[in-house]
Amino acid sequence: MRQSYARRGLLFKKIAITLTMGALSLTGCSIAPTSEGAAPPASASESAAPAKSAPAAAKTGKATPAPTQTTPSVDSAETPLTDAPADADAAVTVSDSAPATAAGAVKAPAAAPAASTPVAPAVVPAVAAPAPAAPPAAAATTGGGTEAATSFNWGPVLAGDEFSNTGAPDSTKWSVFKGPGHHRQGIRSPQAWSVGNGVATVKGDAAGTTGGMSAKFAQQKYGRWETRMRTNERDPEYHPVLILWPNDNASANCAEIDYAEGSTETSMMKFFLHYECGGKDFQTYAAKPIDSTQWHNYAVEWTPAGITGYVDGVKTFSDTNPAHQPTVGMHQTLQLDWFPDGSATKPSEMQVDWVRVYK
């Protein structure tokens, strides 16, 4: 580039400048610096590279209500099953669209000068080209911030965890899984979990060592649960799951409520209600396109009238069939499950900002 500008300078010195009515007129051109906006974060499961290990400072609007109810744990080794059908159609699908970006204006060229009598060449001093401007920093994107609890006035928080400690998950609130992984593939290790900067993080490595844990609080029939969660750009073999699981690991109809479940479709988040033993033939579900690498609030409302699911305060699932109701009390679990497919596994992670339970 330096040689190119030097040659241009010599060329400019030799340019004949036209003269109109005896007055010497010089014309020049300037090079406008360009800038290019940063690309939007990649969609689907755990945040784009910078966000996948972003500190809690990137989160917005986190309150810290103190839980007022805890109940003892029943089993620290439960292993909920969360198989999702690969070919079923979504009961509810919500499409998100991105706004179009306006094109920048283009400056019109100047009009050509009128013809005039040639004069002796004038010397034009060389001008250094301006350095291109640095591209602007991308604005932080924090995903959805609306809570179902706020939108529908669920009242005070009765139990939960804001993850305000540092180190391992609070043992008074959680039983951390230790043993075989989902469907006995891989390992669930307590060391996969860590808490710091206001979030709980569970990591899954390339060998299928990952983690899960179940709540000792709010082991109850009926209620409302809401969890703020995100992932990194996860491997499709790692599935983040927020579950209501039967107390004592016992349910006559194999009840299970997966109110946020990622699958091999990393750009989707699904809701499953398992209402009968027998697998995918006995469930209702919905799917929502979503960028799970951003923070989103996932919620479930369980009342005698039915079960409703929400994402960022918007209803995405509903089942009011009385025959589909769980018949026992349930409690929260948080899991990053490994579904190996024979290909190399990329380490992945899930982060949870808070879990809150309402009446």
CATH code, 339: 2.60.120.200
In a domain, 118, yes or no: no
In a domain, 100, yes or no: no
Mean pLDDT, residues 327-340 taken together: 97
The proportion of the chain whose per-residue pLDDT surpasses 90, expressed as a percent, equals 58
What band does 261 get if pLDDT is binned at 50, 70 and 90? very high
In a domain, 151, yes or no: yes
Contacts of 9-13 with CB under 8 Å at 24 or more apart are 9/126, 12/124, 12/126, 13/123, 13/124, 13/126
In a domain, 72, yes or no: yes
Quick one: which H or E segment has residue 17?
Answer: none
In a domain, 160, yes or no: yes
Quote the pLDDT of residue 102: 33
Quote the pLDDT of residue 62: 55
Q: Is 324 left (phi over 0), alpha (psi -120 to 50) or beta?
A: alpha
- d(Cα 211, Cα 179) in Å, to the nearest integer? 9
**123 or 357: which leads in pLDDT:** 357
Contacts of 27-33 with CB under 8 Å at 24 or more apart are 27/110, 27/113, 28/124, 28/127, 30/130, 31/129, 31/130, 32/107, 33/130, 33/131, 33/132, 33/133
**47 or 153: which leads in pLDDT:** 153
Structure tokens at 110: 């100047």
In a domain, 43, yes or no: no
What are the pLDDT digits (tens) for 14-31? 433 333 333 333 333 333
What are the pLDDT digits (tens) for 289-322? 999 999 999 999 999 999 999 999 999 999 999 9
Q: ∠68-74-78 over CA atoms, to 5°?
A: 115
In a domain, 14, yes or no: no
Q: For residue 317, what are the β-bridge partners?
A: 309
What are the pLDDT digits (tens) for 227-240? 999 999 999 999 99
Number of domains forming the structure of the chain: 1
**Which residue range(s) make up the domain with 82?**
49-56+63-95+142-358
In a domain, 225, yes or no: yes
**54 or 267: which leads in pLDDT:** 267
| Statement: residue 101 has pLDDT above 50 | no
What are the pLDDT digits (tens) for 206-234? 999 999 999 999 999 999 999 999 999 99
